[in-house]
Amino acid sequence: MRITDIREARVSIASDIANAYISFARMDVSVLAIHTDARVDGRPVVGYGFNSNGRYAQSGLLRERFLPRLREADPASLCDESGANLDPFQVWDTLMANEKPGGHGERSVAVGIIDMAVWDIVAKIEQRPLAQVLAERFGDGQVDARVPVYAAGGYYYPGKPVSALKEEMRDYLDLGYTCTKMKIGGVPLEEDLDRVEGALAVVGDAARLAVDANGRFDLQTALAFAEGLEPYGLRWYEEAGDPLDYALQQQLGEHYAPPMATGENLFSHQDVRNLLRYGGMRADRDILQMDPVLSYGLVEYLRMLDELRRHGWSPRQCIPHGGHQFALQIAAGLKLGGNESYPRVFAPFGGFADSTPVEEGRVALPEVPGIGFEDKGELMAVFNEHLG
Amino acid sequence: MRITDIREARVSIASDIANAYISFARMDVSVLAIHTDARVDGRPVVGYGFNSNGRYAQSGLLRERFLPRLREADPASLCDESGANLDPFQVWDTLMANEKPGGHGERSVAVGIIDMAVWDIVAKIEQRPLAQVLAERFGDGQVDARVPVYAAGGYYYPGKPVSALKEEMRDYLDLGYTCTKMKIGGVPLEEDLDRVEGALAVVGDAARLAVDANGRFDLQTALAFAEGLEPYGLRWYEEAGDPLDYALQQQLGEHYAPPMATGENLFSHQDVRNLLRYGGMRADRDILQMDPVLSYGLVEYLRMLDELRRHGWSPRQCIPHGGHQFALQIAAGLKLGGNESYPRVFAPFGGFADSTPVEEGRVALPEVPGIGFEDKGELMAVFNEHLG
């Protein structure tokens, strides 16, 4: 089989939300379709990819470097031994040829977008959901039928900081979520603690509420918030400091016993290895949130999981950033701990299949081959509009 | 003053060289011109920027994210208090607005290109060489009149590995260089040691020959080469392992007493801080090679130098990667230890002013305002051709 066409476009996912670090008013993503001459049920197989939020579209890198390498490659060099399907590892090596080591950002997103589309093709040609393919190739053959998801949000509402936050949390529970996450760090500690108590009054159980500082704190602030937050025993305390400040993370762990979380801004297995070596993260409770799309795709994510195992971690401690169907398939097939979700923002790139609503805080996988895009009407409409 | 026009283009710097990691057959760079309404001697001031080799052009990121932010900014917000010149720190904050932390690659190059052009403008409006501006703002007011440069090359020559390498080294000495660097790691250790001995026979003094593995070795290979190289007491042993594998670097330092060097693939002060925290680099002998263009420009490079000072390092231990005039000005103005140079490749982006040949291993700074591009005819011709 061979790739017959590759189409790429840039799509806005602007929203009026902000975290403690950036505004999402001009956020966009790249969407990608890879057409092949492989046929299933008489129709050519097409794989789709896009990047999750936070790191912008990568049209330039796709057009200037990575898609040309894919287009120019000998088709046989991209296939598995049978010649009937793509080999994502071969594709990855082709994409990363003549790329220097280090500097893991932006290109990691561009490669991740392509990798997503490649795995979509692989599973579609195998005529199975991607989770099943992954469980058989890399796992124990069994797929988690339902994946825990949590509602990430908990924004700031000027003028009614607590009451509007409580409404938002109630909305998430009504949507079927049981666990939620809220922003902290945008206001002084005491105000954030009022917000935490407001959210807890709705969610009910501290083990069902996480907080996210989005990497904004210095050590002193991180420790002050740790002291204020610790008595609640929250689900986790996320990205207190700069994602590369492993010493801050390590110090935080010395002073904060409940779970910590980080990793969404680490885009290579080398960076994750440094977090494991130096960050003082605790394998029995802490959460790792690397996003397979932002970090060179599933091929690199598998290397991250290898690093985790070498350091004594279970994949169950991983709950990827991103809220997309790709990470959901990976979570189900490789038995991660769950997946993020962004109700009501980043649609239709966030969210899961139309046939699988969130129920009791979990979401099932659709019964369609590939990543499941074909069971998500609004997303397919975007693909068709921009890539058709 | 205000920016009146920004032009950008992508230019090939393809060469037939290869290091142990990548081929440069399709390498390209971005060139940039920022036009202003500031006038010197009746003519509008224009600043130029480009990226150094190894990380490709960044047209996409420039066009999609960073140049729009510059164009849309309130002109006053980009200026210093007088309103008569740009403030590179204000420009930097404008460029990096709504960028998440972590993920330092590619965008670090795009921002570095802009930063170079901004500093070119700043010095041109001050009607002085950039080095003088930097010495007065950030140094002791004194500029190093001549900066040590070394000839980076030492390629592999199939069929005549030693004789052709010796010719190459002789050529560098004829060009005025006294220190050189050669590739290692592309062949087995014994063959590389033959090459080292060949090069030493020409260069004469082990303190004048460095070796570069380009990040290719695992720990075992790095240590094997260390054992083989140590008796020579070379100038430095560069990038033995992956640039983010600080544990490997630290282990290497436990076993290799002569100087080590690394840093060209670290693009943020956070990454450099991790190298200093965890890499076991020794402030009394080791060399740090961060490239100010590849790593968010001089604004971020100043933060790196702050980290160095905090960790007890002198700027004299810095010898930037890149071989460009921007790093040369920085080296002279901030009193770094020297600068890289690539004789006969990457022209005209590598190399220095027409009026300042390399003499006795050092190069002087041209007597022109800014970075000195106007005293480098071939480079100005490229700017005029692509940005005119």
Q: Please, which pLDDT band fits residue A113 given cuts at 50, 70 and 90? A: very high
Exposure class string for B147-183: b at 16+ Cβ within 10 A, else e: bbbbbbbbbbeeeebbebbbebbebbbeebbbbbbbb
Give the pLDDT mean for A224-233.
98
Domains and CATH numbers, chain B: 3-127 (3.30.390.10), 137-387 (3.20.20.120)
Give pLDDT, residue A346.
86
Nearest to B210 by CA among B219, B225, B223, B200: B200
- Any idea how long chain A is? 388
Residue A19 has pLDDT above 80, yes or no: no
Chain B residues within an 8 Å CB radius of A266: 102
Establish if B66 touches chain A: CB-CB under 8 angstroms.
no
Give pLDDT, residue A43.
97
Q: What is the ipTM of this complex?
A: 0.97
Establish if A270 touches chain B: CB-CB under 8 angstroms.
yes
Radius of gyration of chain A (CA): 20
Residue B35 has pLDDT above 70, yes or no: yes
Q: How far is B228 from chain A (nearest CA, A)?
A: 25
Per DSSP, what are the bridge partners of residue A260?
A237
**Inter-chain touch B105–A106, beta carbons under 8 Å:** yes
Give pLDDT, residue A259.
98
pLDDT single digits (tens) A146-175: 999 999 999 999 899 999 999 999 999 999
Residue A18 has pLDDT above 80, yes or no: no
In angstroms, the first-to-last Cα distance of chain A is 21
Give the pLDDT mean for B121-131.
98
Q: How far is A245 from chain B (nearest CA, A)?
A: 7
Could you give the percent of chain A with pLDDT greater than 70? Answer: 99
Whole-angstrom distance, CA of residue A19 vs CA of residue A182 = 10
pLDDT single digits (tens) B263-306: 999 999 999 999 999 999 999 999 999 999 999 999 999 999 99
Per DSSP, what are the bridge partners of residue A31?
A9, A50
Q: How far is B23 from chain A (nearest CA, A)?
A: 6
Give pLDDT, residue A22.
77
Distances (CA, A) of A80 to A33, A75, A83, A127: 20, 11, 5, 16
Nearest to B169 by CA among B159, B157, B161, B177: B177
Give the pLDDT mean for B143-165.
95
Residue A6 has pLDDT above 90, yes or no: yes
Q: Please, which pLDDT band fits residue B79 given cuts at 50, 70 and 90? A: very high
Exposure class string for A220-230: b at 16+ Cβ within 10 A, else e: eebbebbeebe
Say if residues A21 and A214 touch (Cβ distance below 8 Å). yes
As a whole number, the mean pLDDT across chain A is 96
Helix, strand, coil in percent for chain A, rounding step 5: 40, 15, 40
Distances (CA, A) of B56 to A170, A329, B10: 49, 34, 9
Q: Please, which pLDDT band fits residue B24 given cuts at 50, 70 and 90? A: confident
Q: Please, which pLDDT band fits residue A20 given cuts at 50, 70 and 90? A: low
Give the pLDDT mean for B111-139.
98
pLDDT single digits (tens) A337-363: 999 999 988 889 989 999 999 999 999
The residue that leads in pLDDT, B20 or B177, is B177
pTM for the whole structure: 0.97
Whole-angstrom distance, CA of residue B160 vs CA of residue A25 = 59
Residue B201 has pLDDT above 80, yes or no: yes
Say if residues A225 and A185 touch (Cβ distance below 8 Å). yes
Per DSSP, what are the bridge partners of residue B30?
B10
For the ranges A13-27, A30-44, A128-142, the lowest mean pLDDT is seen at A13-27
Residue A94 has pLDDT above 70, yes or no: yes
For the ranges A369-378, B151-160, B230-239, the lowest mean pLDDT is seen at B151-160
pLDDT single digits (tens) A134-147: 999 999 999 999 99
Question: Strands B28-40, B180-183: parallel, antiparallel or unpaired by DSSP?
Answer: unpaired
Q: Please, which pLDDT band fits residue A17 given cuts at 50, 70 and 90? A: confident
- Active-site annotation holder among A35, A124, A181, A183: A183
Four-point Cα dihedral B321, B326, B332, B338, nearest 10: 10
Cis peptide before B343 (omega within 30 of 0): no
Give pLDDT, residue B29.
95
Say if residues A69 and A366 touch (Cβ distance below 8 Å). no
Could you give the percent of chain B with pLDDT greater than 70? Answer: 99
As a whole number, the mean pLDDT across chain B is 96
Chain B residues within an 8 Å CB radius of A278: 246, 274, 277-278
Nearest to A143 by CA among A332, A9, A306, A342: A332
Give the pLDDT mean for A46-67.
96
Token pair of B114 as six digits? 């802009």
Phi, psi of B289 (to 5 degrees): -120, 25
Give the pLDDT mean for B127-133.
98
Scanning every residue of chain A, which has its alpha carbon at the shortest distance from the alpha carbon of B69? Answer: A26
Token pair of A287 as six digits? 């959460």
Give pLDDT, residue A44.
98
The number of beta carbons lying within 10 Å of the beta carbon of residue B146 is 16
Residue B18 has pLDDT above 80, yes or no: no
Residue with tokens 């001549």: B146
Nearest to B238 by CA among B278, B205, B269, B265: B265
- Any idea how long chain B is? 388
Give pLDDT, residue A23.
83
**Inter-chain touch B106–A267, beta carbons under 8 Å:** no
Exposure class string for A298-316: b at 16+ Cβ within 10 A, else e: bbbbbbbbebbeeeebebe
The interface residues of chain B toward chain A in range 285-324, judged by CB-CB distance below 8 A, are: 294
- Active-site annotation holder among B321, B324, B335, B376: B321
Give the pLDDT mean for B123-132.
98
Give the pLDDT mean for A111-126.
98
Nearest to A70 by CA among A130, A125, A8: A8
**Inter-chain touch B265–A26, beta carbons under 8 Å:** no
Chain B residues within an 8 Å CB radius of A107: 105-106
Whole-angstrom distance, CA of residue B165 vs CA of residue B191 = 12
Phi, psi of A146 (to 5 degrees): -135, 135
Q: Please, which pLDDT band fits residue B22 given cuts at 50, 70 and 90? A: confident
Say if residues B40 and B369 touch (Cβ distance below 8 Å). yes
pLDDT single digits (tens) A285-297: 999 999 999 999 9
Q: Is A160 an annotated catalytic residue?
A: no
